[in-house]
């Protein structure tokens, strides 16, 4: 990590109490979301894995998306938000990071890595839902027998097309609010991470719009013969959320030099909170089976069925 002239020192113009309250207000929803997503990953992949075998390709990809959300929240809760909104630790923690730059060298590229990985999973989940709607069952299975491997490969390796310049470049500490965040001095000047991330976001939004429009048109044509599955409807709602958050992200990146603006900087953080949290919330709210397993809920109609069955056995 280079000793940059951007290291101007911690700002003492912000109230400790106000900054700590900002952090607390964010942790109020970040921590429950972090725990919920962890529980969802555990339920889908381990405890009730058989319940999600019917559409295994979708749930494998969605689990990957949840894992990326979980790691994004992990970095935010334990590193990025505290370093930004706990002025009491600004000087000591920033000094520690300058003396031990390996932490920034690892976490700063990871922040972008997880974000780009999420764009890739969103794109492939949309393609998976479209192919599920359009293709016959055997054709769908043949296609995703190969695409599953390709999609996971791209989720893990495509982000390196964005973060390679960060990995090569010197990192430094830049101050926002009463704290700080890491930044980097480009080693390769023509490759701007923010601009390329914006391009990747626009591509993933384009794929989301096109695939969902094709699926919607297909369902409209076949409405009298076959109703869309619950999972397709849920993913349509999640895609709307993705387009909404993505549009705000693009607006903020195109309209402002947010790396030098405290307000825009924190708004971008909040937009990513929307990406990471709203999608799992929609899935839990609309998918009864997942909600039942995650919260260990026994619904009244199921209890009645069990009671009725036990009475029949006794008779």
**Model confidence pLDDT, tens digit, residues 52-101:** 888 889 999 999 999 999 999 999 999 999 999 999 999 999 999 989 99
- For 55, counting Cβ atoms within 10 Å of its Cβ (0-12 exposed, 13-18 middle, 19+ buried), the class is middle
Show the domains of the chain with their CATH numbers.
Answer: 16-297 (1.20.1070.10)
- pLDDT band, very low/low/confident/very high, at 311 (cuts 50, 70, 90): very low
- pLDDT (mean) for 136-162: 94
How high does pLDDT run on average in the chain? 88
pLDDT digits (tens, 9 = 90+) for 123-139: 999 999 999 999 998 99
Nearest residue to 94 (alpha-carbon basis) of 200, 184, 193, 10: 10
CA dist 281 and 106 (Å) reads 29
Predicted confidence at residue 224, as pLDDT, reads 54
Say what the pTM is.
Answer: 0.89
Residue tagged 């976490």 (tokens): 107
Count of alpha carbons within 13 Å of 89, Cβ hemisphere only? Answer: 14
Question: What is residue 51's predicted lDDT score, i.e. its pLDDT?
Answer: 85
What is the Cα–Cα distance from 12 to 219, expressed in whole angstroms?
A: 58
Cα angle at 272 between 1 and 118, to 5 degrees?
A: 85
Instruction: In whole angstroms, give the CA distance from residue 28 to residue 35.
Output: 12
Q: Which helix (H) or strand (E) holds 181?
A: strand 179-185
Per-residue pLDDT at 126: 97
In terms of Cβ atoms closer than 10 Å to its own Cβ (0-12, 13-18, 19+), residue 27 is middle
Q: Among candidates 209, 175, 195, which has minimal Cα distance to 98?
A: 175
Residue 195's closest CA among 266, 287, 257, 144? 257
Share of the chain above pLDDT 90, in %: 71
Query: Is the pLDDT score of 251 beyond 50?
Result: yes
Take residue 219 and report the two structure tokens written for it. 């369902």
**For 271-308, how does the pLDDT look when each residue is reduced to its tens digit (9 = 90+)?**
999 999 999 999 999 999 999 999 988 766 554 554 44
- Evaluate whether 205 touches 246 at the Cβ level (below 8 Å): yes
What is the predicted pLDDT for the residue at 176?
A: 85
Q: State yes or no: pLDDT of 309 exceeds 60.
A: no
């Amino acid at each position: 990590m280079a000793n940059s002239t951007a290291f101007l020192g911690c700002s003492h113009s912000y109230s400790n109490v106000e900054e700590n309250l900002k952090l607390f207000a964010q942790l109020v929803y970040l921590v429950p979301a972090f725990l919920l997503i962890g529980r969802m990953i555990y339920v889908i992949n381990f405890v009730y894995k058989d319940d999600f075998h019917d559409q295994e390709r979708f749930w494998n990809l969605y689990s990957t998306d949840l894992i990326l959300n979980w790691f994004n929240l992990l970095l935010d809760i334990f590193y990025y938000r505290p370093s930004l909104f706990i002025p009491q630790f600004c000087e000591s923690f920033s000094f520690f990071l300058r003396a031990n730059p390996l932490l920034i060298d690892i976490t700063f590229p990871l922040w972008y890595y997880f974000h780009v990985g999420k764009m890739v999973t969103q794109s492939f989940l949309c393609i998976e839902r479209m192919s599920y709607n359009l293709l016959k069952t055997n054709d769908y299975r043949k296609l995703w027998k190969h695409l599953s491997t390709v999609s996971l490969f791209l989720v893990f390796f495509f982000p390196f097309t964005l973060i390679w310049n960060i990995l090569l470049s010197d990192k430094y500490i830049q101050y926002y609010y009463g704290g700080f965040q890491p930044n980097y001095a480009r080693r390769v000047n023509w490759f701007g991470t923010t601009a390329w991330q914006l391009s990747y976001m626009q591509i993933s939004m384009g794929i989301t719009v096109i695939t969902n429009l094709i699926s919607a048109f297909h369902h409209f044509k076949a409405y009298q013969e076959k109703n869309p599955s619950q999972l397709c409807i849920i993913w349509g709602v999640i895609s709307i959320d993705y387009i909404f958050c993505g549009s705000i992200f693009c607006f903020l990146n195109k309209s402002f030099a947010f790396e030098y603006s405290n307000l825009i900087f924190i708004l971008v953080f909040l937009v990513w909170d929307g990406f990471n949290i709203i999608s799992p919330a929609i899935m839990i709210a609309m998918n009864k089976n997942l909600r039942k397993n995650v919260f260990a809920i026994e619904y009244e109609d199921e209890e009645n069925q069990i009671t009725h069955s036990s009475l029949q056995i006794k008779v």
